[in-house]
Amino acid sequence: MSNNLLKGKRGIIFGALNEQSIAWKVAERAHEEGAEFILTNAPIAMRMGEINALAEKTGSKIIPADATSVEDLEKLITESMEVLGGKLDFILHSIGMSVNVRKGNHYTNENYDYTVKGFDVSALSFHKLLQSAMKLDALNDWGSVVALTYIAAQRIFPDYNDMADNKSYLESIARSFGYHYGLAKKVRVNTISQSPTMTTAGSGVKGFNQFINYSELMSPLGNAKAEDCANYCIAMFSDLTRYVTMQNLYHDGGFSNTGVTQAVMDRFTEI
């Protein structure tokens, strides 16, 4: 269903790897709502080539960029404005990766080279993106930048490992940069804290199936789906949310404010 919420708006969408990716759903919805945008991902992630189908479906151009490289980001932003024919109105940062998680290193036994790499990809890339956009004066007034995060930034979820620290830093950047970008250019910066979702990044977390089932029972509305997360991103890119900035916004079916649910209590009656 389209309400032309993003008609006339231009953007960049990071992180569509395959059909499960949250960014993929955002691109589909942004297209339905009338936006024009560039799709981008790390050059290595494009070897699978799945993103080509999304580009075709949404009439978008793909510009590869490693989000840890300021040079790549500046090139991406400059070329995006050229291709789309003007300054941008929205950017989605949907990027996350922990090498320690991938290699199975416990949180108390990190390889710090891996930690730094994961931090650069998952958190610092957001600052690099915002700083590059600001220097190039790439965003229109009331533009909106959204990054995706997880509640492990606030509470311990043991197997989320060093990604928890990365997400805390990511959310802090949204607050700090949101202040400066708001004052300078009326640009809004927020993070959306999403329910666990079955994607490539999500399923890399140990015990993810148990995790997702627990979260489902602990959320009065159930886990929020990727498609619904995409809808929330569209709302955040639209003019209907112009005064929302520097926030971490929970999109989690109520999980973040739930102490316990009856469904979880019922599992303990036999003990």
Interface with ligand NAI: number of residues (CB under 6 A): 27
Binding residue ranges for NAD(+): 15, 21-22, 95, 167
Residue-wise burial string across 205-232, b where 16 or more C-beta atoms lie within 10 A, e elsewhere: beebeebbebbbbbbeeebbbbebbbbb
Residue (of 23, 7, 152, 166) closest to 89 by Cα position: 7
Rounded Cα–Cα distance for residues 72 and 67 (Å): 7
Shortest separation between residue 136's beta carbon and ligand NAI, angstroms: 18
**Choice between 139 and 153, CB closer to ligand NAI:** 153
Query: Is residue 84 at the binding interface for ligand NAI, with CB under 6 A as the rule?
Result: no
From 107, 112, 114, 150, the catalytic residue? 150
Residue (of 114, 33, 38, 40) closest to 82 by Cα position: 38
Of 22, 30, 130, 146, which lies in the binding site for ligand NAI, with binding defined by CB under 6 A? 22
Give the Cβ contact number of residue 240 at 10 Å: 11
Query: Is residue 253 at the binding interface for ligand NAI, with CB under 6 A as the rule?
Result: no
**Choice between 69 and 140, CB closer to ligand NAI:** 69
Rounded Cα–Cα distance for residues 38 and 49 (Å): 16
Query: Is residue 130 at the binding interface for ligand NAI, with CB under 6 A as the rule?
Result: no
**Choice between 34 and 64, CB closer to ligand NAI:** 64
Contact 117, 66 (CB under 8 A): no
Query: Is residue 35 at the binding interface for ligand NAI, with CB under 6 A as the rule?
Result: no
Query: Is residue 202 at the binding interface for ligand NAI, with CB under 6 A as the rule?
Result: yes
Rounded Cα–Cα distance for residues 226 and 235 (Å): 14
**Choice between 185 and 225, CB closer to ligand NAI:** 225
Stretch that binds ligand NAI, among 2-10, 132-140, 197-205, 263-271 (CB under 6 A): 197-205
Residue (of 10, 177, 7) closest to 79 by Cα position: 10
Q: Give phi and psi for 268, each to the nearest 5.
A: -110, 5
Binding residue ranges: 15, 21-22, 95, 167
Query: Is residue 11 at the binding interface for ligand NAI, with CB under 6 A as the rule?
Result: no
- The β-bridge partners of 61 are 38
Site string for ligand NAI, 176-195 (x = CB under 6 A): ------------------x-
Shortest separation between residue 141's beta carbon and ligand NAI, angstroms: 27
> What are the residue numbers of the active site?
150, 160
